[in-house]
Amino acid sequence: MKRQSFYQYLMTQRDPNAIDEIAQFANNAFYDQSFPKQASEYEEVSAYLELNAGYLPSMSVFDDAWHNYLEKLA
């Protein structure tokens, strides 16, 4: 079974009414046409976000979301 990509996981966190940083990250990533939707490697997603995600207030938000993603996979 192919493991869920980070993007697929992140989309489960979307909530247009949330003030939670991870939900806001998910909402913004949904509108990011270039987001690496198939990626499941930390380095690939992290490198993309560092260069392209002006909507991400801090990489620590991504790190928290990544941690949650790994817990869900376990």
Q: What is the predicted pLDDT for the residue at 3?
A: 81
Digit-coded pLDDT (tens) for 24-69: 999 999 999 999 999 999 999 999 999 999 999 999 999 999 999 9
d(CA 7, CA 3): 11
Q: Which pTM value belongs to this model?
A: 0.92
Q: What is the CATH number of the domain that holds 35?
A: 1.10.150.260
Output DSSP code: residue 57. S
Nearest to 46 by CA among 32, 30, 66: 66
How many structural domains comprise the chain?
1
Task: Report if residue 27 sits inside a domain.
Answer: yes
Q: CA–CA separation, 46 vs 42, rounded Å?
A: 6
Whole-number pLDDT of residue 1: 58
Q: Domain range for residue 41?
A: 6-73
- Residue 10 near residue 25 (C-beta atoms within 8 A): yes
1 within some domain: no
- The answer to whether residue 23 sits within a structural domain is yes
